[in-house]
Chains A and B, each alone.
Chain A
């Protein structure tokens, strides 16, 4: 069997393990699906009147606007959960066993990221389904839905890279878990839950430059309007930036992990 096929099998096996691990542990799946769904329902019901504010972008409903925010929250927490699970593997010595196996080191990280990407895919389908069930239309139709799915999946993988880097660097689940509040801060300081122009300072200015705002706007655009190439390009560039950051940090952290054991 070619080396490439062998590596693909390793990545697939580790990815499947990561998925099974997440779905078997309520602590890991709850932040990815239950909390964002609960918050989506509550924020839609509680702040739904916001669509009447002057300056709010034209939308069918607040639910339609919020879907992208819920997906973003879910994928960020999927990345964080992936980091926690990897750190647990390091603490339990499972990663050491993988390091001593005749498989490339990058496949170990890639396997975890494949699992996180699959969770991102699942999350995008979950929230699109919720939106459709509760009457939110996808304005740009099937092509728009496919763009949303692709953006959420790749962003989950990109964010998972940063989670993996932190897990590899620290080797401590408690540190990865401690990043949970930080994930919330970064999310609140983006346009995930409200239009940037209507946010209060200093959140408004920070959101303007937060790369996540570009990603979330790219995900939201096909849901609330026709596909906009400029928004899509901005989102792709922001995702590329997160991927590069995740790759660089992961590669350095992996070298560190191999050195310290």
Chain B
């Protein structure tokens, strides 16, 4: 931190965020095997769901005849959810090891520490997303177009950031890796109680009611646009609003937990 002490505040904050992201990158490069479950899980879910539920497209009301195309954004967002939850688990590990205590006594603002963790997760989520996307194309999923691709990957990165805020808040609250199932189950529940498996009209009434109020439904619908039709602003902005809302609420919660931990 000495080198950054004389820098303007915004630059030292950026340097701190970059350092935290570099640490995350180093973890990935030094133990590449650790990333395998995060890549495998959504890929297996994609291949499995497609093989198992592929016949659902025969039901009246399905927007596409290709279940690969329908399910690929869900699996990519699921990968983002897993990656965000993993960021929470890693933070809990760092808390158990005492590393976070050292971070908290540094002069860096709390939001900078959180941003480093969240942006790292966001960047890492692109790895499983790319893997699922490549598999989907190989299996015959439609090409979403450049605009569809941009919307899709932006949604994935932002979803991972929201998931990382969720995971970090829980890690800071429980200060133990034992909270890992809650981090993962929370994200899994949030992403799958949507139009993940079938269009809204084909869901069972209880799930339909949940999906209608679940903000991730808008995210999935926005991410799916390129695969089931054209990309439009009308189909995109609800997803952006939903993600901004989740980021604001979960980010504020994580920050509050971080301040509480520091006290």
Query: What is the interface of chain A, defined by CB distance below 8 A to chain B?
Result: 25-27, 29-31, 34-35, 38-39, 42-50, 52-54, 178, 180-181, 184-185, 187-189, 193-194, 198-200, 202-204
B55 to chain A, nearest CB (A): 4
Closest to A46 in B: B197
B6 at the binding interface (Cβ < 8 Å): no
15 cross-chain CB contacts under 8 A:
A26-B179, A26-B181, A27-B181, A30-B184, A42-B207, A44-B204, A46-B203, A46-B204, A47-B197, A49-B198, A50-B53, A181-B37, A199-B55, A200-B50, A200-B54
Pair B206/A34 contact, Cβ less than 8 Å: no
Contacts A42-B192, A45-B206; is A27 near B48 (CB within 8 Å)?
no
Residues of B within 8 A of A178 (CB): 36-37
Pair A181/B55 contact, Cβ less than 8 Å: no
Contacts A49-B202, A200-B54; is A25 near B197 (CB within 8 Å)?
no
Pair B59/A46 contact, Cβ less than 8 Å: no
Query: What is the interface of chain B, defined by CB distance below 8 A to chain A?
Result: 36-37, 40-41, 44-45, 47-56, 58-59, 67, 177-182, 184-185, 188-189, 192-193, 196-198, 202-204, 206-207, 210
Residues of B within 8 A of A43 (CB): 197
Of A46, A185, A200, the residue contacting B196 (CB under 8 A) is A46
Pair A46/B207 contact, Cβ less than 8 Å: yes
Closest to B181 in A: A30
A249 to chain B, nearest CB (A): 23
Pair A184/B51 contact, Cβ less than 8 Å: no
Q: What are the 9 closest A-B residue pairs judged by CB atoms, nearest first? A: A188-B48, A46-B197, A203-B51, A45-B207, A30-B181, A200-B54, A45-B204, A42-B192, A181-B40
Residues of B within 8 A of A44 (CB): 204
Residues of B within 8 A of A35 (CB): 181, 185, 188
Residues of B within 8 A of A185 (CB): 44, 48
Contacts A27-B177, A46-B203; is A181 near B41 (CB within 8 Å)?
yes
B43 to chain A, nearest CB (A): 9
- CA A95 – CA B22 in complex, angstroms? 40
Residues of A within 8 A of B37 (CB): 178, 180-181
Closest to A29 in B: B181
Contacts A34-B181, A181-B44; is A47 near B56 (CB within 8 Å)?
yes
Of B48, B58, B202, B210, the residue contacting A184 (CB under 8 A) is B48
B199 to chain A, nearest CB (A): 10
Residues of A within 8 A of B182 (CB): 26, 30
Residues of B within 8 A of A193 (CB): 52-53
Pair A189/B51 contact, Cβ less than 8 Å: yes
Residues of B within 8 A of A48 (CB): 203-204
Pair B197/A42 contact, Cβ less than 8 Å: yes
- CA A47 – CA B207 in complex, angstroms? 10
Residues of A within 8 A of B54 (CB): 199-200
Residues of A within 8 A of B193 (CB): 42, 45
Closest to B186 in A: A38
Residues of A within 8 A of B56 (CB): 47, 49-50, 53
Closest to B179 in A: A26
